Structure 1
């Protein structure tokens, strides 16, 4: 890994630290965009799960599943030199939002179409 105090080269030109920073931020923006897409995909899948729970009268809250998700995140954190507390907190946020969306679907009046509920926002 290159020392951050040295300049990277692009072709024959030397990048300034500011240019290096901008390049790294562009790379980070790409990762952030991918992360947001994955979070959206996760919520959309949870909408489908909520419709299934609604149709078959399955309780929204599944404590064993929540525990398994947290345990998987903890194991991942420990094996990848990440903070287990951070991933635990991250999953708390994800699960809270999932529960909010599932409640809206399960408690809705009438028939539910997942395509119609995909844009479930706090202001909806």
Structure 2
């Protein structure tokens, strides 16, 4: 259980780093900063996968509200980024629009995954924790 809690703290830290990178990218709009956002998003996904392997079932049941909050923050951050990316697409050149469109699609898929996981947590909580999250 200690490993899972440590990984949950790592997850929180990486979420903060992702939020900071997103904020910085919004100001600069440089490819370098977009790469940082992608890097932190990848690290966040890796940490989440590791956490799931080390006992997320127990942690999610004990801290369902924690995970609901984490996913809600991820969704809020991603939705704000999606809005900015979509509004900026029309002023970009064709190659940049295509690149941004693929980033938008990837981020939309992540939002869908996170939303699905929130539903599973809520369902598990409603079922008394009998279903795996």
Task: With the length of structure 2 as denominator, give the TM-score of the two structures.
Answer: 0.34
Structure exhibiting the larger radius of gyration computed from Cα positions: 1
- Of Structure 1 and Structure 2, the greater helix share is in 2
Task: With the length of structure 1 as denominator, give the TM-score of the two structures.
Answer: 0.35
